């Protein structure tokens, strides 16, 4: 893909790694090929695209990279969507490491960690009915989330959690022990994740 961009005499100054989906259900009840495909999209593709675009950004001393992680990457692992949260946690740490590596190089790297966002995500993974039962205060629209990600990468903030409710949840995940957070959300999470 980047070769085609170069063939047209263009460069990549901004990269938004936003491809992703969830795979609900118990890990042992899924096929490995499905889990492997999930990891390809959530991890390998992000790392590969970033690795290919970053050197040119550094050479030009300008670039913006937004890795769309998730609020799920800031808390303990949960049953169901078994690899989703850990993959998003990886993206947060990956973004923080790249942020540190590129300081002063004109390249800004941010991990965007939204919570529930109105999009086709829940339609694609078959959890729309469960998602629609969640309280409205948990939801943000995609434009608001995108604007927060843009502002964060322009300000060169390593991690962005958009929305007051999500920021409160992220703060609780930092200060409360993992087993407390797990106990608080495991019952609703089990219903939501088709377990």
Above 60 in pLDDT, residue 163?
Answer: yes
CA distance 143 to 80: 28
Tens digit of each residue's pLDDT (9 = 90 or more) over 15-42 = 999 988 888 888 999 999 999 999 999 9
pLDDT, residue 96, reads 98
Does residue 60 or residue 130 have the better pLDDT?
Answer: 60
Ranges 2-6, 60-64, 178-182, most confident: 60-64
Identify whether the C-beta of residue 102 lies closer than 8 Å to the C-beta of residue 87: no
Residues serving a catalytic function are 84
Three-class DSSP labels, 122-189: HHHCCCHHHHCCCCHHHEEEHHHHHHHHHHHHHCCCCEECCCHHHHHHHHHHHHCCHHHHHHHHHHHH
CA distance 160 to 61: 23
Does residue 158 or residue 134 have the better pLDDT?
Answer: 158
Above 90 in pLDDT, residue 2?
Answer: no
The domains found in the chain, sorted by start residue, are 12-192 (3.40.50.720)
Above 70 in pLDDT, residue 65?
Answer: yes
pLDDT, residue 118, reads 61
């Amino acid at each position: 893909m980047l070769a085609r961009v170069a063939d047209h005499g263009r460069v990549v100054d901004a990269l938004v790694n936003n491809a992703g989906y969830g795979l609900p259900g118990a890990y042992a009840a899924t096929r490995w090929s499905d889990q492997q495909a999930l990891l390809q999209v959530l991890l390998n593709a992000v790392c590969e695209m970033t690795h290919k675009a970053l050197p040119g950004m550094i050479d030009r001393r300008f670039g913006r990279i937004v890795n769309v992680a998730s609020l799920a990457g800031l808390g303990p692992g949960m049953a169901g969507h078994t690899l989703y949260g850990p993959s998003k946690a990886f993206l947060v740490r990956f973004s923080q490491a790249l942020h540190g590596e590129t300081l002063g190089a004109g390249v800004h790297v941010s991990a965007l960690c939204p919570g529930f966002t109105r999009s086709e995500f829940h339609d694609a993974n078959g959890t729309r009915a469960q998602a629609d039962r969640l309280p409205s205060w948990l939801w943000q629209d995609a434009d608001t989330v995108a604007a927060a990600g843009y502002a964060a990468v322009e300000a060169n903030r390593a991690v962005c959690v958009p929305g007051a409710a999500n920021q409160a949840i992220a703060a609780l995940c930092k200060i409360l022990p993992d087993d407390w957070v797990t106990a608080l959300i495991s019952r609703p999470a089990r219903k939501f994740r088709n377990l």
